[in-house]
Amino acid sequence: MQGEGVNAKLGLPAAVEVALAGGTSGESPADRWLIAVRELASHIVGSGDVLAIAVPVENGPAANVRLLRQWALAAADVMVAAGDGTFVAKWAPAWSLEPLLAARFRLLSVAETEPKICNMFSEIDEIDWLFVELVDAIARTRLERVEDSAAAPDRPYRVMYRGESEVMAAWLRALIAKESTFVADGWLVAKTVRGGLAQSGWAAMEWADRSGRPFYEVAFALQAPPPDTPTADWVLEFCVRHRFSGKLVPLSDWWRQTARRWRIEGDVLVAPDAWILPKLREAARHCPQIADALGRPAPSYVEIPVDDVYPLLVQSIPSLVAAGFYVETPKVEQAGDIRVRVLVRQARGGRDKRAVASAGQQWLDAQQLVDFDWSIVVQDRELSQQDFAQMVAEQTPFIRVEGSWRLVPIADILRELERLGLRSDHKATVLDLSRTIALAQESQDLALDVEFATEAAEVKRVVDVFTHALHVPAVEPPYGLRGQLRHYQAHGFSWLMHLREIGCGACLADDMGLGKTVQLLAYLLKLKEEKAAQGVHLLVCPTSLLANWRAELERFTPGLRVYVHHGALRDLDAALAAGKVDVVMTTYATLVRDLDSFLTRLFDVIAIDEAQNIKNAGTKQAQALRMLKGRHKVALTGTPVENRLEELWALMDFLNPGYLGTLAWFRRTFADLASGDKDSASDIARLQALLRPVLLRRRKTDPDIQTELPEKWEVDERAYLTAEQAAMYQAFVDQLFTGIGAGAKAMSRRGMILSTLVRLKQVCDHPCLISGGAPSLRRSGKLRQLMDLLRIVVEDGECALVFTQFRDMGEILCDTMEAEFGVRPQFLHGGLTARSRGEIVESFQNGRDPSPILVLSLRAGGVGLNLTRANHVFHYDRWWNPAVEDQATDRAYRIGQTKDVQVHKMICAGTLEERIDQMILSKRELSEAIVSSSQEWVTELDDDSLRELFALTPQTVFEEDDV
């Protein structure tokens, strides 16, 4: 053996020393073995796994090894004496690295089985001494210095035994010098050597273990059948695996050994069944097939029928791996790049029966039925629907791609197909298909390729138009429209035109105040101007909004002729017989009542306002609306979903029956939406994608919208009087003119007029201010309207100020709001001390007040306060002087306000409130001059003007059951 100082006399068996001294030719087994031993020694030194030892000089190699092992295992207080005398210092392998121990195990095994090696030693323990000698020799050639770690400066101070420092110094010298012997106290030497050995591999169980347990583990290898027999059984083979080389050896080899010694690449495992069988038993708990095999002789593999491979791969093997077993599987990776390929063949003649209501004659409508095929494409390998169904039925989700097996995640695909709503009957409406495509665009799991056969080119056009519904072509607004559409309103108008073109119902769900009304009116007017309307339009709204709609129609689209089907004198047939009506307006309640009259007609556009009124599909209103026949359905709402997701489904079921699938499918697909877990985010994205083409929603907070909105804008909110209010109102007007007609004196006349003025205002607010009784919602149209509006404000998380000039009305407002929202707003009025007012303002402004609404008396709360928490201001009753209202409005619209402010002026339609409002609007300059200080000017009007001002216009009264 050449090199690295191993020629020194090593104290080894003579045969070994001769072999080493004579050099190694590498031609004999012993030579090969000795080379390997020397290499291992070199690795030991190279890795620093070296330990200083000392043994009595008189001992032989085997005795030394036994002594070292004894010391290693000895308890700290039971020291094997070494006597006093001369010791020889050596660098020994510490065997603290398992790979080095594994190498030792192999060399020992080879030596035991190869007689030519075995014969060089009289005892096997001598081999361990050979390692010591070689490590010592190599270590000394590489040694730079030796450090006594007990003397290191960072070690805590310790009182040394007598003579300890001399012994350590002598030992240390012997470890460096050529002369490796030293004289020392045996107890001290033994104690110190034991300290190192006890922490080393000499004390480990692995050192003496011959079963191979420390270096091998039970492993499994799953083997796929050959490519030409894909349905043959798979095989799970039981193996042992070398922990460091990774070599796998089948367990069948063990069962063929005649004795309980298993030779693996030179290692000899003695009675390895002592650890292999318990490990198999442990594995059997994770894999029932292994348990079955263990009940039969010589368990070495188990055949897995192809139907059972999937559960094995997704359950048993992950469980085995989690338990620490090594499992080699063929390249059964999860297949990537999975897509659904849909081939749309042609349009059929039929239409979906669900959509009878929207019979139309456009070139190809959304309810047209189409034929299609779908298939699953996995990494360029196409599985027909039948192939896939078979795979699902047999639970064999494997395909072979480019020579290796791929696991097809059928559960995921099935779930995705269900979500996409791909039906197995190969039929769908264009709308269904478009929905599928829209959903797939948001799917991160499954791509969708849609191809259209040549004969289905028309279908493709509709689908394209539909799936790009947001990129609608701009349409010129109607020239007859009074006013300018804002940019987003012009888009909404064009979008309505576009959806009409493709025969698809539309839900315009802009925030309150963004002008849904004007967008719809522009749309209806455009249809008239283009002569595109194929009949009259029907507009259904809550009774409380009827007045608003009339006012908006007159204001923006005077060119549209309106018939309001409401009130005792209503007669739809008569009104339409003359053919001079463009729009029929009615309320939900009237519609239900007169449903038969409506059902006989085919409307052009059926528009519903406050569409949340049909959120419950089972109500009479919703059922009645679904029965109506119209070419295009439009829903306006600021809150498409108030409480439950099903409300959205009900709304869509009116607009586009079947678009959100069946209610059961919809519930199933979006069940997680409300859960708030991680799945709900993707569900929300899916639902948004699904609705994007048919639901247009813009928020006031959208940056694009905000730039277009004024910072403060005023909206007239019109309400009808109830019958009680109207009767009372008329009585006061009659009373006034009777009084005046009786020739009242000038002062008396003024007094009567002013008094009536106040009373009429009170009647408009709430009749109980005059006649007493319960301050219920039913009795006041205006109060009802206010509560409808406040509900939207509160649901949007915004805050409002409500001004009234009557203190009693303020209390009624507070009572009503408490009943409605569960928390009583504070009421700031002149009867409070300055301090109380300050506290109310502060608690509202800093949010301590739990109510999002603050009620104020106009006089007490109109000036000097800072209430920027609110961005809605309601003027419950009108003040003649706009400046007073503006001042009140400025409580919210002032420095510190971060949102846009909406000012809602509550007006009772057909009353003096409306008349004065018009007067102020039309003659603003004049009115400013007139009304600048008081309402005295009213008393100066002549009787005719006064009559005109006070008179109650007919058809502005709630019907009793409109509530």
Partner 1 sequence: MKKSVLEPFWRPVWNAVDKARVRKARQEAKAGAVVHVELVRGEIWAQVRASGPRRSCQVALPLLAHYEEHIEAVAKWLAMRPDWMAAHFAGEWDPEYVAFLKSNRLDVLPDDSVVDKLRWGAKCTCDDSDPLCVHVLTALLHLIWEADEHPLRVFRFVGLDEELLLDAAHGWTARWVRSTKADSRGAGATDPTTDPIEQVTDAVSAWNVAIWLKGAGTNPVGRLVPHFRTGDRME
Site for partner 1 in 524-553 (CB under 8 A): none
Instruction: Identify which of residues 67 and 94 has a Cβ nearer to partner 1 in the complex.
Output: 94
802 binds partner 1 (CB under 8 A): no
Stretch that binds partner 1, among 177-185, 287-295, 631-639, 726-734 (CB under 8 A): 287-295
In 169-290, the DSSP E strands lie at: 181-184, 216-223, 234-242, 248-250, 261-264, 267-270
Other C-beta atoms lying within 10 Å of the C-beta of residue 339: 17
Q: Which helix (H) or strand (E) holds 591?
A: helix 588-593
Out of 158, 162, 178, 296, name the contact with partner 1 by CB under 8 A: 296
Largest CA distance in the chain: 152
β-partners of residue 262 are 269
The residue from 70, 122, 181, 300 that contacts partner 1 (CB under 8 A) is: 300
Which window, 252-260, 702-710, 771-779, 845-853, contacts partner 1 (CB under 8 A)? 252-260
Binding flags for partner 1, 130-169, as an x/- string (CB under 8 A):
---------x--xxxxxxxxx-----------------x-
Pick one of 6, 40, 635, 636: the residue that binds partner 1 (CB under 8 A): 40
Tell which one of 180, 200, 467, 804 touches partner 1 (CB under 8 A). Answer: 200
Pick from 204, 294, 359, 617: which binds partner 1 (CB under 8 A)?
A: 294
Piece of 299-307, 373-381, 833-841, 888-896 that binds partner 1 (CB under 8 A): 299-307
Residue in the structure block whose two tokens are 């000039």: 805
Chosen residue from 284, 576, 792, 963 binding partner 1 by CB under 8 A: 284
Among 64, 96, 590, 612, binds partner 1 (CB under 8 A): 96
**Would you call 953 helix, strand, or coil by DSSP?**
coil
Q: Does 260 bind partner 1 (CB under 8 A)?
A: yes
Which residue, 223 or 680, has its beta carbon nearer to partner 1? 223
Window 102 to 121, contacts with partner 1 (CB under 8 A): 102-103, 106-107, 109-110, 113-117
What's the CA gap between 439 and 428, in Å, rounded?
Answer: 15
Taking the least distance from each CB to partner 1, the nearer of 211 and 939 is 211
Calpha distance 581→218 (Å, rounded): 88
Among 5, 23, 48, 473, binds partner 1 (CB under 8 A): 48
- Binding segment for partner 1 (CB under 8 A), chosen from 39-47, 370-378, 394-402, 545-553, is 39-47
Q: Does 330 bind partner 1 (CB under 8 A)?
A: no
Residue 253 engages partner 1 in binding (rule: CB under 8 A): yes
Are 233 and 303 within 8 A, CB to CB?
yes
- The stretch near partner 1 (CB under 8 A) out of 248-256, 423-431, 673-681, 840-848 is 248-256
**Which residue stretch of 42-50, 356-364, 622-630, 830-838 sits at the interface with partner 1 (rule: CB under 8 A)?**
42-50
Burial class of residue 742, CB neighbours in 10 A (0-12, 13-18, 19+): exposed
CB of 87 or CB of 374, closer to partner 1: 87
Tell me the three-class secondary structure of 258-294, residue by residue: CCCEEEECCEEEECCHHHHHHHHHHHHCCCHHHHHHH
- Cβ burial of 178 (10 Å; 0-12, 13-18, 19+) is exposed
Smallest distance from partner 1 to CB 259, Å: 7
- Contact of 342 with 374, CB cutoff 8 Å: yes
Q: Min. distance of Cβ 162 from partner 1 in angstroms?
A: 17
Specify the long-range contacts of residues 72-75, CB closer than 8 Å, at least 24 apart.
Answer: 72/194, 72/197, 72/198, 72/200, 72/202, 72/203, 73/203, 74/194, 74/198
Among 266, 480, 483, 513, binds partner 1 (CB under 8 A): 266
Stretch of 261-269, 387-395, 415-423, 435-443 lying at the interface with partner 1 (CB under 8 A): 261-269
Residue 650 binding partner 1, by CB under 8 A: no
**Could you say which residues in the range 213-242 bind partner 1, by CB under 8 A?**
235, 237
What's the sign of the alpha-carbon dihedral 551, 554, 557, 559?
positive
The one among 62, 249, 456, 606 contacting partner 1 by CB under 8 A: 249
Report, in Å, the least distance between residue 294 CB and partner 1. Answer: 4
Q: Encoding tokens for residue 774?
A: 């319960």
C-beta neighbour count of 581 within 10 angstroms: 18
Would you count residue 298 as binding partner 1 (CB under 8 A)?
yes
Contact 343, 422 (CB under 8 A): no
256 binds partner 1 (CB under 8 A): yes
Which among 397, 228, 245 is positioned nearest to 309, based on CA atoms? Answer: 397
- In degrees, rounded to 5, the angle at the alpha carbon of residue 917 between the alpha carbons of residues 864 and 860 is 20
Q: Is 195 in the site for partner 1 (CB under 8 A)?
A: yes
In the bound state with partner 1, the residue whose beta carbon lies nearer, of 20 and 439, is 20
Q: How far is the CB of 308 from partner 1 (least distance, A)?
A: 19
Residues 62-91 that bind partner 1 (CB under 8 A): 91
Tell whether residue 7 is a contact of partner 1 (CB under 8 A): no
Kindly state the smallest distance separating residue 22's Cβ from partner 1, in Å: 18
Of 362, 703, 763, 687, nearest to 532 by C-alpha is 362
**Closest CB 46 distance from partner 1, rounded Å:** 8
CB contact at 8 A, 304 and 389? no
Residue 35 touches partner 1, criterion: CB under 8 A: yes
Task: For 662-697, give the DSSP string.
Answer: -HHHHHHHTGGGGG-SHHHHHHHHHHHHHHTTTEE-
Check residue 394 for interaction with partner 1 (CB under 8 A).
no
Complex with partner 1: residue 143 or 731, whichever CB lies closer: 143
Rounded to whole angstroms, the Cα distance separating 751 from 676 reads 64
Q: Which residues, 6+ apart, have CB-to-CB distance to 464 below 8 Å?
A: none
Q: Give the residue, chosen from 71, 121, 129, 171, that forms a contact with partner 1 under the rule CB under 8 A.
A: 171
280: phi then psi, degrees, rounded to nearest 5:
-65, -40
Pick the piece of the chain touching partner 1 (CB under 8 A) from 195-203, 435-443, 597-605, 839-847: 195-203
Residues numbered 173 to 192 that lie near partner 1 (CB under 8 A) are 175, 192
Please, what is the Cα angle at 325 between 319 and 329, to 5 degrees? 80
Minimum CB distance to partner 1 smaller for 236 or for 635: 236
Q: What is the DSSP letter of 797?
A: T
The residues with which 405 forms a beta bridge, in sequence order, are: 400
* C-alpha to C-alpha distances, 95 to 48, 50, 563, nearest whole angstrom: 10, 8, 101
Q: Identify which of residues 286 and 633 has a Cβ nearer to partner 1 in the complex.
A: 286
Nearer to partner 1, 101 or 340 (CB): 101
- Decide: is 124 part of the binding site for partner 1 (CB under 8 A): no
Q: State the number of CA atoms in the 13 A half-sphere of 166 facing the CB.
A: 6
| Smaller CB separation from partner 1, 320 or 906 | 320
Tell me how crowded residue 352 is: count the other CB atoms within 10 A of its CB. 19
Stretch that binds partner 1, among 196-204, 389-397, 520-528, 552-560 (CB under 8 A): 196-204
146 vs 792, beta carbon nearer partner 1? 146
Determine which residue in the list 15, 63, 79, 97 makes contact with partner 1, applying CB under 8 A: 97
Q: Is position 299 an interface residue for partner 1 (rule: CB under 8 A)? A: yes
Region of 516 please: left (phi>0), alpha (psi -120 to 50) or beta: alpha
**Cβ–Cβ contacts within 10 Å for residue 347, how many?**
18
Q: Is 562 in the site for partner 1 (CB under 8 A)?
A: no
The single-letter code of the amino acid at 654 is F
Judge contact between 790 and 876, C-beta under 8 A.
Answer: no
Beta carbon of residue 98, minimum distance to partner 1 (angstroms, whole number): 7
The count of other CB atoms within 10 Å of the CB of residue 84 is 14
Q: Is 98 a residue that touches partner 1 (CB under 8 A)?
A: yes
Residues touching partner 1, count (CB under 8 A): 97
What would the two tokens of residue 103 be?
């190498």
